[in-house]
Structure 1
Amino acid sequence: MKLLITRPIAQPVLDQARARFDVTLGEAPLSEEEASSALTAYDAILPTLGDAFTAAAFDRAGTPRTRILGNFGVGYNHIDVAAAAAAGVVVTNTPDVLTDATADIGWTLILAAARRAGEGERLVRAGQWGGFGPQSLLGTHVTGKVLGVVGMGRIGQAVARRGHHGFGMDVIYFNRSEKDAGLPARQVDTLRDLMVQADFVVVTVPGGARTTKLIDADALAAMKPGGIFVNISRGEVVDEVALIDALERGAIAGAGLDVYEAEPHVPERLRALENCVLLPHLGSATVETRQAMGQMALDNIISFAEGRDPRQRVN
């Protein structure tokens, strides 16, 4: 069975894959044309974010040789799951294992943006710090403020728990259904209700057509002038131009981003902003989490190869 792993993964998982399959290891994201070719050349593929398994890629492949895409990542908006299903290709993902790591990055961004840590570090590294000053780099207090979570799934609940138990925050959330996060969290009726009330807004919704540009200019305009906005979901969930405009005008106090609309491209206007903390998609980037993700993706492929239905099947 020929298996394509599109990017290097944890060595123990790669060793397991090589012991069981005829493995080809890629080094870079697959373009639409490359994804289409891969579908005709391999029995199984372990792809990840950036690999363009679009409807056009499936259409170009015709009747694909590939029977399963064991995706590395909880998000799979880079795969057209409907086109995959129509072509008879199973798609799986890796939920649960990255919840805590991603929530931790959310809090890294909250604290860094609120306390202007990025600005402070740049100042020190540039040799421009002149010493302690009573009015220098004043940030925003976090403890006791209102935390608004957009999308109360596993990651959203983990962010909320950290805010409530660790920082004594009041938690509100916007979600399609009511959730029991094991803490006093109040569901609001509309996104606007959340944006108006929250001091810190953290977006954790999944990507996809339903959430594309969910955070638009109107949503950002509803935020408090001292509000901090954080996105750890998918870049396309936010209207990046509208966010840049709000930050440039000082309409909100700051932002923290781990994801972008056209990764790895980050607009120059965004990079120029001092009031925005920028990370290179580090949400799941711990040794333990990335190994667990690779293991789950491979386990799904092994299950399929052995004639069992993969546990993390999404189509």
Structure 2
Amino acid sequence: MNDVQILMPAPMPAAVIAALDARFTLHRLWEQPDADVFLAEHGPHMRGLAANTLAGPVGPALFDRLPVLEIVANFGVGYDNIDAGAAAARGITVTNTPGVLDAEVADLAIGLLLATIRRLPQADRYVRDGKWVDAPFPLSPTLRDRTVGILGLGAIGRQIARRLEGFDVAIAYHQRTPRDDVSYAYHDSPVALAAACDVLIAIVPGGDGTRHLVDGAVLAALGRDGILVNVARGSVVDQPALIDALRDGTILAAGLDVYADEPHVPDDLRAMENVVLLPHLGSASEHTRAAMGRLVVDNLVSWFDRGTALTPVPETA
């Protein structure tokens, strides 16, 4: 298959690059002195695309320059960086990396929730700054007697819920339709879910359909003792509304792993003591990123070996 040409617009883990180099003719677009000149000359020969969020938008503008493109293998379970509808219209298959990162993101969500509610980063700084010798760290809020709402009970959402069961908290959820395989309380809108709980964990896919799903009305319904944890996409939360809610005491605190314009985090958020900020760590362990990379490679190999993708997204399945 070395005569099959694959384009990689932005860097991926070294193991992914090495595996693709061994099976295909891999072109590293970020190493080209002039990407436009390179695409004009070589784009018509690219049959596969290995993409990630660092590559920027993948849609009609790029597809026009890759007229024989057959498959886009995305490094990540979320693929809101890819116009899957436009790909489907052109007969291009899009794949992602579901399953292999579910447990890691769920673990991170629980850790972020505990860090936020018990103010663990703030306590760490308190010790490092030598303040403990002068006075005990202030008492924190608690997870006890709370209801946790999960916005999006997909594969990762269910893993988060299973972990929460061990904390003896009430669990509720919202998604487009109720599930018949869980006993958690279902609410028919994000506002209704927020009103019924005092912790809200967002874990829905990104994209236009979920943009600002958590808005000012949802935050107001969550209430003054409420905590928001976002491990979904930054676009899911109306970030200016969240800043206002945190500043005004509309909600108590937030734990954020994702932002509207990554890696840029607003100064207002960075200055707040009632926010825990992570640099998009959801799947960022060596084990999980390696598994994601293998699935990217396996999708491309399967496609060009057998004409089938392992994990096509619904729009192009």
With normalisation by structure 1, the TM-score equals 0.89
User: Match for 2:57 among 48, 53, 56?
Assistant: 53
Cα offsets for 1:240-267 (capped at 9, x unmatched)? 0000110111211100011111111111
Structure-2 change in CA distance of 1:58 and 1:4 (3 Å): closer
Cα offsets for 1:162-220 (capped at 9, x unmatched)? 111x20011000111222565x4111122222111212110011111110010011111
What is the SS of the residue equivalent to 2:109? helix
User: Match for 1:43 among 23, 41, 47?
Assistant: 47
Residue in 2 that maps onto 1:265: 264
Letter in 1 for 2:110: W
Structure-2 change in CA distance of 1:181 and 1:138 (3 Å): farther
Query: Please, what is the CA RMSD of the aligned residues?
Result: 2.4
Alignment of 1:1-315 (within 5 A): 1-5=4-8, 6-9=10-13, 11=15, 13-25=16-28, 40=44, 42-58=46-62, 60-61=64-65, 64-133=67-136, 136-164=137-165, 166-180=166-180, 184-314=183-313, 315=316
Letter in 1 for 2:161: A
Cα offsets for 1:70-116 (capped at 9, x unmatched)? 00101000111112223332211111111110011111110011011
Cα offsets for 1:286-310 (capped at 9, x unmatched)? 1111111111111111111114220
What is the SS of the residue equivalent to 2:295? helix
Deviating above 4 A after TM superposition, structure 1's stretches of 4 or more consecutive aligned residues are 25-28, 32-41
Mean CA deviation greater in 139-148 or 166-175: 139-148
What is the SS of the residue equivalent to 1:225? coil
Shift of the alpha carbon at 1:65?
Answer: 3.6
Letter in 2 for 1:251: T
The unaligned stretches of length 5 or more in structure 1 are none
Task: Please give the alpha-carbon distance, in whole angstroms, between the structure 1 residues aligned to 2:209 and 2:290.
Answer: 30
Structure-2 change in CA distance of 1:33 and 1:200 (3 Å): farther
Shift of the alpha carbon at 1:311?
Answer: 2.3
Letter in 2 for 1:109: L
Shift of the alpha carbon at 1:34?
Answer: 9.9
Mean CA deviation greater in 268-277 or 43-52: 43-52
Shift of the alpha carbon at 1:4?
Answer: 2.9
Shift of the alpha carbon at 1:132?
Answer: 4.9
Task: Please give the alpha-carbon distance, in whole angstroms, between the structure 2 residues aligned to 1:125 and 1:33.
Answer: 50
Q: Name the count of aligned residue pairs.
A: 306
What is the SS of the residue equivalent to 2:26? strand
What is the SS of the residue equivalent to 1:70? strand
What is the SS of the residue equivalent to 1:210? helix
Counterpart contact for 1:157–1:181, Cα < 8 Å? no
Counterpart contact for 1:160–1:171, Cα < 8 Å? yes
Structure-2 change in CA distance of 1:15 and 1:51 (3 Å): closer
Q: Percent identity?
A: 39
Shift of the alpha carbon at 1:23?
Answer: 2.2
Counterpart contact for 2:47–2:70, Cα < 8 Å? yes
Structure-2 change in CA distance of 1:296 and 1:197 (3 Å): same
